[in-house]
Chain A
């Protein structure tokens, strides 16, 4: 138990440090990413997924680590995605970055964190109503691309290609729209 706490703390410190250095805790840079002016943060996020997905194939081959697939609910995941996007576009923070940005000393992030605690409390209160209403009826289970493509290796390759093309596309489109990713 206490080993887990130290591991969590250590991982969090490293994670918070890196996302600050990548600019992801800066709501100004996040807004400019959403407005298609700066391409760095979305490319950083997508490349991190590509590299992690490749690394995870290696971890699993050597039998190390633990995975957990979150179920796909057509309605609940979809509605949550739309709402989350609206909140993210409005404040420029996501749940993880609020902690790191609050640690930086950004007052607006401290208010985002407080709002997040309030949103969590309200959801916990209505969990028993919303989960049976929105999540359960359209729950498709713990599906992955490996189920669709029949093989984890092919599925991982498809993910790498699609994300790779997206990273390239973001570079081109954001560059065309803004005046370059780096100023």
Chain B
């Protein structure tokens, strides 16, 4: 019982990093550089192609992307399953609105969902412009010593930190 409770809380960052690096290397060995923003393109391509095959054929971004029956989409689908399994075996219940957000903006679901929709829009638009995201460009790229991944990494951390300060303002300071 005691052991169960221990395994169902957050892992310490060092063993968690070893576990993640093991998976990343498994992916490099069996597929290539891991990526997740390309899973969005594959999902959309699969959704749009049956409805408008001419449109998909006319757009370079869909032409260069894998369809839903390939590794990239299986990977993001797997991530959702992994998240599901992890949450079902976890001690801390999931929330629809993060605590820090609720302290700053109240418990309006509409406000929070509008913000995450906008945030999701921006990060995917940006990822497709750069050619990758936190995983596909920063982590995969830096692992391969790519300048693109390191350049992107410095900027995303710097601007996320600035934005969080702006978004959470005083609520962020009181958190300490």
Q: A and B: partners?
A: yes
A interface residues, Cβ below 8 angstroms from B:
1, 4-23, 25-28, 31-32, 34-37, 39-45, 47-49, 51-53, 55-56, 59, 64-73, 76-109, 111-125, 127-128, 130-131, 134-135, 140, 142-146, 148, 152, 155-156, 159, 163, 177-179
In the complex, the answer to whether B129 meets A76 with C-beta atoms within 8 Å is yes
Write the chain B residue with the least CB distance to A109. Answer: B116
B interface residues, Cβ below 8 angstroms from A:
10-14, 16-21, 23-34, 36-37, 39-41, 43-44, 59-62, 69-87, 90, 94-101, 109, 112-168, 172, 175-176
Between-chain CB contacts (< 8 Å), 28 pairs: A4-B31, A12-B77, A12-B78, A19-B83, A27-B101, A52-B139, A59-B25, A67-B33, A68-B144, A70-B132, A73-B148, A81-B126, A84-B127, A84-B152, A89-B164, A90-B167, A91-B115, A93-B120, A95-B127, A104-B86, A104-B94, A107-B113, A112-B119, A117-B44, A122-B125, A128-B59, A134-B129, A143-B146
In the complex, the answer to whether A40 meets B13 with C-beta atoms within 8 Å is yes
**Residues on the A chain within 8 Å of B115, using CB:** 90-91
> Given A16-B79, A21-B11, A48-B20: A112 and B151 within 8 A (CB)?
no
Top 4 A-B residue pairs of the complex, sorted by shortest distance between their CB atoms:
A12-B78, A16-B82, A85-B159, A91-B119
Write the chain B residue with the least CB distance to A44. Answer: B13
In the complex, the answer to whether B79 meets A156 with C-beta atoms within 8 Å is no
Consensus secondary structure, chain B interface? helix
In the complex, the answer to whether B117 meets A112 with C-beta atoms within 8 Å is yes
Expressed in whole angstroms, the minimum distance between the Cβ of A167 and any Cβ of chain B is 9
> Given A4-B74, A59-B25, A104-B84: A119 and B122 within 8 A (CB)?
yes
Write the chain B residue with the least CB distance to A113. Answer: B120
Q: Give the CA-CA distance A146 to B142 in the complex, in Å.
A: 12
